[in-house]
């Protein structure tokens, strides 16, 4: 294969370490003679379609180091699925851009949906004999990518959640009176993030009750659980997924929104599940209750990123660069953990794209807790602290040259 250029794209929801993968790819690419320049597509695949491309080859190592502490997709992101035939606009746009920049290698960072793009690009290049390889690099806070032990982005989100829940537990325990506090955690369809609240128990600040979206929500059971928990510990802490659904599969939050008749809001956005449960609890049990959303910070408060997670995010993209040069295409890099030793492998993209890894049913305890098996699984993912560089008390972020 002749010498060519590498391009990287970031897709889907941001994470605290998605730019660590960008770091790994750029630094590794510089080591290989097969790669001349490293480009970035702005706003994911739409940047490749529309020739919104920037050159990432000339950043200093000091600048690049800041990528490890810069959250969200520095290149911009998209939630765009390639459509149409190979002769149509999307694909022809891509072909034109690849030719213009002599791109032979594509690394695409994303989750389930983004791997659909990797799959379609692979088929396009294969069908039309375009000399370009493509690999998926995993990232998602939701940890719902299959075939990989975990996904970079999850560890840092889990670490933020564990530490935020600890802080909330400390804060809500100060007065000498009972109160139920309900904390809402992200994760629309998957309980991995909500389960991470259990990690706060590692310093004795764990929640009393945990509700994952994998378990159909029963109001009667919930109220019964709260009564019991409040009886044992009047400073009751409950963590719930934003994506809790009733037995008919309807989101509680949507039900609550209809209640509130708040039609100016986007109906597809979740949230307010904790508020809804607080309302139920106050109405039915007459106990003091408050709800708290810890919100977006779960995926972007990189001040407390997991060092393990940063290193893994770097590792998967370094591995991706090596393998793509070796001739691999049409796969996603996966993570293997074996007795604490982390390594990478490749899995064919068809078996990953658009699929979801569920939270193991056997790790859910009594419908309102998670087991020690989960703690054993997740604890190593949140370990280690990156030495964040601050200036004037504010975290420093990587900035693209304008």
Task: Supply the DSSP symbol for 282.
Answer: H
Q: How far apart are CA 275 and CA 283, in angstroms?
A: 12
- Taking the CA atoms of the chain, what radius of gyration do you get in angstroms? 22
Q: Would you say 108 or 319 has its CB closer to a second copy?
A: 108
Name which position in 300, 335, 364, 370 contacts a second copy (CB under 8 A). 300
Minimum CB distance to a second copy, residue 346 (Å) = 27
Contacts of a second copy in 191-220 (CB under 8 A): 199-200, 202-205
315: which 2 tokens? 């590792």
Task: Supply the DSSP symbol for 48.
Answer: H
| 163 binding a second copy? (CB under 8 A) | yes
Contacts of a second copy in 239-268 (CB under 8 A): 260, 262, 264-266
Residue with tokens 């560890």: 155
Binding mask 5-44 for a second copy (x = CB under 8 A): ---------x---------------------------xx-
| 297 binding a second copy? (CB under 8 A) | yes
Q: Would you say 257 or 357 has its CB closer to a second copy?
A: 257
| 87 binding a second copy? (CB under 8 A) | no
Minimum CB distance to a second copy, residue 351 (Å) = 28
Q: Would you say 367 or 397 has its CB closer to a second copy?
A: 397
Minimum CB distance to a second copy, residue 212 (Å) = 20
For this structure, is 142 an active site residue? yes
Catalytic residue among 90, 116, 131, 142: 142
Binding mask 58-77 for a second copy (x = CB under 8 A): ------------xxxx--xx
Q: Would you say 132 or 164 has its CB closer to a second copy?
A: 164
Name which position in 162, 185, 240, 364 contacts a second copy (CB under 8 A). 162
Output b/e per residue, 256-278; b: 16+ Cβ within 10 A: bbeeeeeeeeeeeebbbbbbbbb
Q: How far apart are CA 187 and CA 349, in angstroms?
A: 23
Minimum CB distance to a second copy, residue 295 (Å) = 5
Q: What is the 3-state secondary structure (H, E, C) of 311-380?
A: HHHHHHHHHHHHHHHHCCCCEEEEEEEECCEEEEEEEEHHHCCCCCCCCCHHHEECCCEECHHHHHHHHH
Q: Would you say 36 or 385 has its CB closer to a second copy?
A: 385
Name which position in 17, 27, 35, 168 contacts a second copy (CB under 8 A). 168
109 forms beta bridges with 10, 137
Q: How far apart are CA 110 and CA 190, in angstroms?
A: 17
Q: Would you say 123 or 235 has its CB closer to a second copy?
A: 235
Minimum CB distance to a second copy, residue 3 (Å) = 31
Name which position in 38, 48, 82, 294 contacts a second copy (CB under 8 A). 294
**Which residues lie closer than 8 Å to 324 by C-beta, 6 or more apart?**
6, 105, 107, 133, 134, 135
Contacts of a second copy in 95-154 (CB under 8 A): none
Q: How far apart are CA 325 and CA 106, in angstroms?
A: 11
| 270 binding a second copy? (CB under 8 A) | no
| 296 binding a second copy? (CB under 8 A) | yes
| 190 binding a second copy? (CB under 8 A) | no
Binding mask 376-395 for a second copy (x = CB under 8 A): ---x--xxxx--x-xxxxxx
From 196, 214, 215, select the one nearest 206 (Cα to Cα).
Answer: 196
Output b/e per residue, 15-44; b: 16+ Cβ within 10 A: bbbbbbbbbbbbbbbeeeebbebbbbbbbb
Contact between residue 301 and residue 160 where contact means Cβ atoms under 8 Å apart: yes
Point out the residues that are catalytic: 142
């Amino acid at each position: 294969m002749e010498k060519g250029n590498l391009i990287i794209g970031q897709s889907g929801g941001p994470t605290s370490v998605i730019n660590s993968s960008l770091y790994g790819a750029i630094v590794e690419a510089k080591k290989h003679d097969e790669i001349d320049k490293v480009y970035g597509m702005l706003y994911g695949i739409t940047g490749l379609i529309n020739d919104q491309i920037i050159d990432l080859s000339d950043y200093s190592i000091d600048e690049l180091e800041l990528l490890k502490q810069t959250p969200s997709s520095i290149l911009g992101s998209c939630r765009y699925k390639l459509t149409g035939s190979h002769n149509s606009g999307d694909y022809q746009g891509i072909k034109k851009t690849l030719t213009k920049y002599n791109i032979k290698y594509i690394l695409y960072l994303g989750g389930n949906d983004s791997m659909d793009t990797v799959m379609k690009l692979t088929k396009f290049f294969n069908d039309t004999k375009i000399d370009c390889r493509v690999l998926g690099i995993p990232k998602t806070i939701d940890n719902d990518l299959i075939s990989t032990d975990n996904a970079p982005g999850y560890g840092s989100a889990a670490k933020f959640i564990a530490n935020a829940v600890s802080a909330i537990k400390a804060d809500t325990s100060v007065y000498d009176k009972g109160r139920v506090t309900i904390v809402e955690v992200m994760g629309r369809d998957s309980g991995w993030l909500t389960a991470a609240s259990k990690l706060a128990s590692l310093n004795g600040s764990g929640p009393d009750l945990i509700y994952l979206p994998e378990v159909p929500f029963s109001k009667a059971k919930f109220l019964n659980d709260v009564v019991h928990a409040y009886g044992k510990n009047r400073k009751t802490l409950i963590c719930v997924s934003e994506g809790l659904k009733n037995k008919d599969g309807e989101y509680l939050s949507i039900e609550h929104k209809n209640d509130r008749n708040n039609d100016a809001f986007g109906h597809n956005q979740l949230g307010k599940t904790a508020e809804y449960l607080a309302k139920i609890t106050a109405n039915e049990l007459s106990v003091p209750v408050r709800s708290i959303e810890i919100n977006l910070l779960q995926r972007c408060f990189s001040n407390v990123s997991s060092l393990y997670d940063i290193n893994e995010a770097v590792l998967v993209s370094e591995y991706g660069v090596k393998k793509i040069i070796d001739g691999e295409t049409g796969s996603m890099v996966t993570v293997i953990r074996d007795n604490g030793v982390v390594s990478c492998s490749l899995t064919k993209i068809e078996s990953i794209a658009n699929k979801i890894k569920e939270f193991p049913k056997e790790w859910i305890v009594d419908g309102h807790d998670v087991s020690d098996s989960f703690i054993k699984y997740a604890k190593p993912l949140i370990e280690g602290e990156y030495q964040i560089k601050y200036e004037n008390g504010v975290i420093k972020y990587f900035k693209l040259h304008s």
